Structures are given as structure tokens and as C-alpha cells.
Structure 1
Amino acid sequence: MPHSEPHYEFGGPLGTAAITVGLPVLLYFFRFACNDVAGCPVPSLLSPSTLDWETLKGEIGWPQGGVWDLCSWQVMGVVLAYYLVSLVLWRILPANETLGTKLVHHGRPLKYRLNAFSSSLVQLAAVAIGTYYHGADFVVWTYMTDNYIQILTANVLIAYGISIFLYAYSFTVNTNYPNDDLRELAEGGDTGNVMYDFYIGRELNPRVTLPLIGEVDIKTWLEMRPGLTGWMLLDLAFVAQQYRNYGYVTDSILFVTAVQAYYVLDGQYNESHVLSMMDIITDGMGFMLTFGDIVWVPFLYSTQCRYLATYPLHLGWASIAAVSAVFTLGLYIFRASNTQKRVFRTNPQDPSVANLSYIQTKRGTRLLTAGWWGMSRHINYFGDWLQASPFSLPTGVAGYRVLAAGSAAATSSVFTTRDGREVVQGDARGWGMIFTYFYVLYFAILLVHRERRDDAMCAKKYGADWAQYKKTVRWRILPWVY
């Protein structure tokens, strides 16, 4: 039954409605306002007083057919085929079958079939073979960049479609727990408000049975497969585009592609870790996670490579070493802190954690107050943010303009494409950071919000013990700062 006094997040029904409509619009804005036609940002946005629609349409590459050309049935078919390939690989490849955490209303865990890493390797091997024979003109790469906006639209529509299905499907859950199929509603997504519940998600772990495929856990499948693998494929498509544009590939785009691929593949290799995350154990499956998994992640997170495909910034060994150091430090903090927590939970007598202080809770569990977890309550979040910041750093002081051949003054900072266009920074310098560094700002806000949600849940779960823990470990994420 819906809660009598629901606790709303994300600004409640109005806020979630704005997010549901606004996030797709934001991604379209990013694509049109930062492009390979006129610049990043396009010139008219730097002179808003003289802005007019006809000029802006030419600069942003607005399709001739208008809004209807933003989508294509043919592209939709290709995108759906990509999803089908991912489903087939999930079914036919060897998998690690793992139990998740115990469900609140059943006291039993669900079983998960995990093979996202091998699935990605198969797809990467396939495009590697195609690239070996066809180079940067391999049809997958040209298709993705030539139809980027239509691919974005297809995934947006799929996200809305899945979210509508999930909302309707959630009303078939038998809430007379325990039920035979281990289905539960998520506490935070069962408020009774249609808009809010649609966004947050009513059902905790929805599963469907598909012909020839079998039972699929929608949440983990979407979170670990099509969007993450698609992110890598988009990055690689932009690497190929840079080569087609200039005849070479820069260290900046190779670095970003490499660290992002590592980020994805590492997460997929350790896929079982996701089963203990908030997304899986507490959040409902609605528009928030669906859109985030298959639209927000691949299309926003590949912005840096899309930028570098047009502005081929050369970093040099010193800059590569600097951003590598930031990435390595963040990775070390993230890995070391999470490992310490896992060892403390599973093997508290291990010498590495045996002498660390902790608070014994009335629930019977222990809260670590030393080591990494004595520095802050979520030091791992700082490491996660730090290792993600090199996604944006290689774009430098971003911004560029695309000029016709012969328009730029002779200078070493002009990049000339194979078709003669000239790419310079000019008055766009710095303004492009709105696009290439947006991810860093967004991720920081996301982690702060996630920490706040976790704090509220732990306060409810541990009561006075959590209050004592917060007095012992003062800092939330970054010691002496936050």
C-alpha cells in the first residue's frame, strides 16, 4: 500500500516531472550546441543579442526535415538489433550465477546471471575485426557518427517505452508477501503519486520472461550491458571520426578512450559488486535508472571524445603523466577503501583489519571507524570522483570554432581537416568547458546526493548508533572539506 506520508526526493512530483522531460532536452542541447558544423559552443550562443533562428539552424546542423528528422525507423531497427544482440550474448555465453542480497519481504535472495564482461569482449572483438579490414571507414563507426542524433532519439524513446512498461507491470506485483515469484515493491517508489513513482520506479527488481531468452532481470541487465558497452563503442566511433577528419589520432582522445574503457570493463569484470549497491537493493526500477543506464551514461559520458574528434588537442607526455597520476590516485583510493570494507565485513580477523576500531551496533553489525573509513564516511566516493575527473581534463581549456577553408589567420593553433575546414579556438576558448566538464560537476553532485540518501537510510537503520558513528567520523566524503 502507498505510504500515508511519502518522503519525496528530487523535488517531489514537480521535480521528477521536470527531470523526466528536461534530461533528454539537455542531451539534445549538448549535441546541437557543441558540434562539428560551427563550433563548441556555436557562434550565435556567444552573441545572444544577435541570435536569430535561421542563423542558429545552420550553425547547429538542424535537420532539413525539422523535428521529424531527429528520429528514423531504420535507425530504431538497428538500435533494437543491438539490444537483441546483447540479450542473445547474455543467454548463450557462460555466466557466473550469483545470489544477491536478501529481499526485505521474503528473506531470500534472487539469483543473477552475470557475464557482462565477456559480452563486451565479444562485441569489441567483432568491431576490432571490422576495423582491421576497413579502418576508420568501418561501417559501424561511420553509421554511429553519421546517425548520432537518430541513435540518441531511438534510445530516448526506448527508455520512455521501458519505463512506461515497468510502471504498468509493477501493478501485477502481489503485495501479500511473501509471494511465489519473489517480487517486491520498492519502498521509495510506492508513494501513490503517478509522476513520482514513474520516475523512481515502483518495483524493486522487475523480471520478464522472453521467448528463447528466458527470465531476464531488467535492472541489472540494463545497468551493466547496453549502455556501458555502447559508451565504449561511441568513444571508439569518435576516435575513428578524428582519424577521418585529420588523418591521425591524438594522445588526448586515446587517453580518454582508454581510461573510460578501463572504467567500464573493470565494472563489468566485477559485475557481482553491483548486487550490493543502492541501485539494486533499495531503488525501484523506473525512468531514473532506465534513462540513466541507456541514454545518460553513453551519450553524456562520451561528450569528451565527441569534442576531441573535432578539436584534436595534443597533450604531450608531461600532461599525459599528470592526468594519469590523477586517475591512478583516484583508482587507488577507490579500490583500497572498498577492499578494506569488504575484508572487514567478510573476514574481520584478517591482519589488515583486525586491529581497526569500530562501533558495535545494536543490530549486531559493526561500523568501521578507522583506516580509510576513519577519514570519512564515504572516502570511496572521493576516489570515484577523482578517477573520473581525467575523463574531462584532457580537453583542456575547451572551446573551438569551425571555419571555412582559408578563413583563419596563419597560426600553429589552427587544425585543418582533410576537407579544408579550419578549427580554431578563438573567442570560444573556455566556453566549451560547459560541455566537456559538465560530467565532472554532475558526478560530484550525484555522489553528494547519494551520500545524503545513504546517510538518511543508515540513520533509520542504525538509530542512535549512527549518530554516535557520525560524531566519531565527522567528514562525509572529503576530509576537512565536506
Structure 2
Amino acid sequence: MSGATAKPPASLNPRTTTYEFLGPPGAFAVTFGVPFLTYALYFGCSEISGGCPPPLSTLYPSLVQAVSDPDWWANLWDSKAFTIYYGWYAFCIVAWAILPGDWVKGSQLRNGQYQQYKINAFSTCLLAMGLTSGYILRFGIQSFTFFYDHWVGFISAALSMSVLQGLLWYALSFQKNKLLALGGNSGNPVYDFYIGRELNPTVGSLDVKSFNELRPGLILWLLIDISMACEQATRLGGRITDSMGLVLFFQILYIIDALYNEPAILTTMDITSDGFGFMLAVGDLLWVPCVYSLQARYLAFRPKDLGYTWSAAILGVNFIGYWIFRSANNEKNEFRNGRNPKNLKYMTTEKGSKLLTSGWWGASRHPNYLGDLLMALAWSLPTGFETPVTYFYVVYFAVLLIHRQRRDDEACEKKYGKDWHRYMELVPYRIVPYIY
């Protein structure tokens, strides 16, 4: 990091006096709830579950029988899955270190300094994809089904990494001269472990938070999707259905877009204000690859052919969402970088900040979230309407984005004061114009 001399830590790290997520009880509930839901989405919707979800009349008795069996718990451990997962994480670190990439300066920190970020997530993905393609060409599609075959083990491996990182960075945050997150210094260990105490944990020049945000989980999500397609193709004699093709296309496009536009994450709340704790660790390393790939996993054992009409309609929903998402983000990024090619209107706050009031950002305060929601719906539609489970992602994502919108509005109100109220009069809708 470089920049002005740091201020005394006492003034930089005030005690957190307000809670999110309903405080320590909420943090405790989410800490255990996220792993439980990840396992439940498998045991409640898989080939072995007897339905998707199974009937309530059989679900409870089978669950009680399973959790009372020591062998069931032992089967959560899978040595091969752990070896592959931890090897994958090590690969991502090595790729970050050896692949070329620009160093980009992030937002100014409270101590006047700047965090530096190496931008090469897209190159890491290309390398991983190249190696995966070579592996499949050499050994056949049936050789790359191990994510499907060892799914529970991979969940356990990703969870173990999340817990290890949550504990590690919580413990190391008590070292001297650490810059803490304003929201993660409450003094309550349960809450601070979950929400994240240290703002920017680093190992040498590796920023842990941004590294985990895009590399191990996001690229693994792509590889899991490919593995699920290989599982389906193995069962169907070498072909995949149009529904699987749509899910692959949509999700790979989204992943590649995020990796290619890596610098865009440097202005998000995750990077600028949230500490790195169990919340971000389990979200990045477990939830993203193991829950966001739900549709592809479902179609691996429940193939579905849609036909041209349904495929075209679903493509339309996704592209409308992607167009809104990308064009809104482009407007924001160009404006933040001092460009305004569309001559968009804006208001200037007393602090000198400029807030867009036209274009996508005049239609709502978070138009990119609207695009996200439409894409989430398009990812689930190829699975049909035989089960509600594959639409879990849409419901979860709506809740997540509404929560993020409220957090962002609260932060902006604190930052801009009465100017924010004036801005909300100019842009009254939060996410969906004329609705919310």
C-alpha cells in the first residue's frame, strides 16, 4: 500500500455500535444456516432423495435415521474431494502469482493509504479452462464427472476452507496496526467472526478478500457446470440437452463477464467497507460454487429438452437482464472515471460528490440489481416447473439484493446527509421502476 501516513489506530478503529443481521443471534443463525442449506439443497434434491423435494411423509423419518447413523456423518468426508479442492485453491494462488497482470489502486482507505490489487482473474480462468479442455479431450467426458460423483465431499471441503479462513483472519485481526472494518469491531466474537473484523487482510501483496471474491469460488462454479454437463452427456450418449446448454451459456457468460471486468469489484461494498470474515469466506468459497450451480446439477440427473420456442423465450429474458446489468454498470464506471459520453444528468452534493439522476441510474437507484434478477430467473427457467427447488436461487438472490440495497442506502444517507434525501426525491425507485 502507498499514500499518506496512517493516523493513530485508536481514531481509525472506533467501536462498532450498531448491528446488522439482527446482531449476534442473527450472525450465529446464518453461520450455521448457510452450511445447513447447502447440504439440504443436495439431500433434498438429488437422485437419492426420492423427489425434489421428497414427500414430507418420508423426509423427516429418513432424515432422523440418517443423522443418527455414524456412517452418514463419516460420508461427509471424502479424501479425494478434499485433495482436489485444496489443490484447486493452491492452483489459484500460484496462477495469481505467476500470471501477468496490471496492478490497480483501489479506493482510498481511512488511513489515507491505498490497497493495491493484481488484476489477472480472467487469465487464471483461461488457464483453468485450457487445462480442463485438454483433460476432457485426453480422457473423455466421463472422466470429468467427479464433481457430480463426489458432491457432498466438495461441499465439506469448501466449508472447511471457509471456517479455517474465518477463524484465521479473525485471530490475526488482533495484531497491532490492523485497519478494521467499521462494522466488524463490536467486541462480540460471534458477530465479529461472522461479519469480518479486519478490512483488508493480506499475505505479502496478495489481497485475500478480492482474491477469494473472484477466483477460487467463481471459476470453480464454471468448472462444476462443465462437470454437470459431462455427467448428462455421459448418460445421454455424448449429447447435452438444450436446457443444459442454456444454463451453461448463461452462467459462463456471467462468470466470464465478472472476471474480465475484475476492476469493477473494487468499488463494491464487499471490497470498500466490509471486513473479511466468515460471511464473505463462506459466501465466496462454498455458497457461490455449490449453490449457484444448482440448475446444472439438477439437469444432470433430470434432463429436459425445451424446443426452439421455449429456448428463444428464455434467451430473451436473459439478454434483457444482461443488457440492463452491463449497460447500467458501464454508465456508472464511465461516470466515476470522469467520462459522460451520454451527457447524463447528475446532482452535486455539498461534499462535491456527483450522483447520476438520468439514464439507468435515473430509473432506479440500483438498476444493475434488476438486470441481476432477470438473469437469475432465466437461469432457473430451463429446469421447467416440476420442482420449486431450482428456483431457490431466484428467491435467495432477491432477498440478498434487497438487503444490499438497504445497506447501501443507509451508508449513503450517513455519507451525504440531506443531499441523499434530495437525491431520493429525484430517483424514488430502489430497484424496479414504478414497483420497488
- TM-score bin (small chain): over 0.9
CA contact (8 A) 1:189 1:201 kept: yes
Answering whether residue 404 of structure 2 is matched by residue 393 of structure 1, we say no
Q: CA deviation at 1:3?
A: 5.1
In the aligned structure 2, how far is the partner of 1:217 from the partner of 1:372? 32
Answering whether residue 181 of structure 2 is matched by residue 186 of structure 1, we say yes
CA contact (8 A) 1:173 1:185 kept: no
In the aligned structure 1, how far is the partner of 2:319 from the partner of 2:218? 21
Q: CA deviation at 1:198?
A: 0.4
Q: TM-score scaled by structure 1?
A: 0.84
Identity %: 41
* One of 196, 199, 213 as aligned partner of 1:223: 213
* One of 55, 65, 89 as aligned partner of 2:95: 89
Residue pairs, 1:91-240, within 5 angstroms:
91-105=97-111, 107-138=112-143, 141-174=144-177, 183-209=178-204, 215-240=205-230
Structure 1 residues 236 and 5: alpha-carbon distance in aligned structure 2, compared to 1, 3 A threshold: closer
* One of 252, 256, 267 as aligned partner of 2:258: 267
SS in 2 for 1:40: coil
SS in 2 for 1:450: helix
Q: Which residue of 1 aligns with 2:404?
A: 450
Amino acid of the residue matched to residue 301 of structure 1? Y
In the aligned structure 2, how far is the partner of 1:102 from the partner of 1:5? 21
Cα deviations across residues 281-313 of structure 1 (Å, max 9, x unaligned)? 000000010000010000000110110011111
CA contact (8 A) 2:346 2:354 kept: yes
* One of 16, 22, 42 as aligned partner of 1:11: 22
Q: CA deviation at 1:374?
A: 1.5
Equivalent residues, number: 424
In the aligned structure 1, how far is the partner of 2:325 from the partner of 2:155? 31
CA contact (8 A) 1:63 1:70 kept: no
* One of 301, 304, 313 as aligned partner of 1:313: 304
Cα deviations across residues 126-181 of structure 1 (Å, max 9, x unaligned)? 1111111222222xx2322221111110110110011000100101141xxxxxxx
CA contact (8 A) 1:304 1:436 kept: yes
Q: CA deviation at 1:72?
A: 2.8
Cα deviations across residues 94-135 of structure 1 (Å, max 9, x unaligned)? 112111111112x22111111111111111111111111222
Q: Which residue of 2 aligns with 1:26?
A: 37
CA contact (8 A) 1:3 1:191 kept: no
Q: CA deviation at 1:42?
A: 5.1
Amino acid of the residue matched to residue 251 of structure 1? D
Q: Which residue of 1 aligns with 2:6?
A: none
In the aligned structure 2, how far is the partner of 1:100 from the partner of 1:438? 34
CA contact (8 A) 1:120 1:229 kept: yes
Amino acid of the residue matched to residue 264 of structure 1? I
Q: CA deviation at 1:64?
A: 8.1
Structure 1 residues 56 and 255: alpha-carbon distance in aligned structure 2, compared to 1, 3 A threshold: farther
In the aligned structure 2, how far is the partner of 1:339 from the partner of 1:325? 21
CA contact (8 A) 1:3 1:192 kept: no
Q: CA deviation at 1:204?
A: 0.6
Amino acid of the residue matched to residue 478 of structure 1? V
Structure 1 residues 147 and 322: alpha-carbon distance in aligned structure 2, compared to 1, 3 A threshold: same
CA contact (8 A) 1:63 1:69 kept: no
SS in 2 for 1:437: helix
* One of 197, 219, 242 as aligned partner of 1:251: 242
The two structures, once aligned, show a CA RMSD in angstroms of 2.0
Q: CA deviation at 1:90?
A: 0.8
* One of 352, 357, 363 as aligned partner of 1:375: 363
Q: Which has the larger radius of gyration?
A: 1
Cα deviations across residues 8-45 of structure 1 (Å, max 9, x unaligned)? 111110000011011101111111111113543254x3
Structure 1 residues 369 and 171: alpha-carbon distance in aligned structure 2, compared to 1, 3 A threshold: same
CA contact (8 A) 1:385 1:444 kept: yes
Amino acid of the residue matched to residue 444 of structure 1? A
Q: CA deviation at 1:194?
A: 0.7
Q: Which residue of 1 aligns with 2:7?
A: none
In the aligned structure 2, how far is the partner of 1:109 from the partner of 1:51? 53
* One of 357, 366, 380 as aligned partner of 2:345: 357
SS in 1 for 2:174: helix
Cα deviations across residues 236-286 of structure 1 (Å, max 9, x unaligned)? 111111122232310101110111111111100111111111100000000
Q: Which residue of 2 aligns with 1:291?
A: 282
Q: Which sections of structure 2, spanning at least 5 residues, go unmatched?
A: 1-9
In the aligned structure 1, how far is the partner of 2:231 from the partner of 2:351? 56
SS in 2 for 1:189: coil
CA contact (8 A) 2:243 2:383 kept: yes
Cα deviations across residues 391-413 of structure 1 (Å, max 9, x unaligned)? 11111103xxxxxxxxxxxxxxx
CA contact (8 A) 1:250 1:314 kept: yes
In the aligned structure 2, how far is the partner of 1:252 from the partner of 1:468? 46
Q: CA deviation at 1:234?
A: 0.8
In the aligned structure 2, how far is the partner of 1:283 from the partner of 1:18? 19
In the aligned structure 2, how far is the partner of 1:91 from the partner of 1:110? 17
Q: Which residue of 2 aligns with 1:71?
A: 77
Amino acid of the residue matched to residue 197 of structure 1? D
In the aligned structure 2, how far is the partner of 1:5 from the partner of 1:250? 51
In the aligned structure 2, how far is the partner of 1:276 from the partner of 1:89? 24
In the aligned structure 1, how far is the partner of 2:411 from the partner of 2:60? 48
Q: CA deviation at 1:5?
A: 6.4
Q: Which residue of 2 aligns with 1:469?
A: 423
Structure 1 residues 208 and 308: alpha-carbon distance in aligned structure 2, compared to 1, 3 A threshold: same
Q: TM-score scaled by structure 2?
A: 0.93
Q: Which residue of 2 aligns with 1:384?
A: 372
Q: CA deviation at 1:456?
A: 0.4
Q: Which sections of structure 1, spanning at least 5 residues, go unmatched?
A: 175-182, 210-214, 399-431
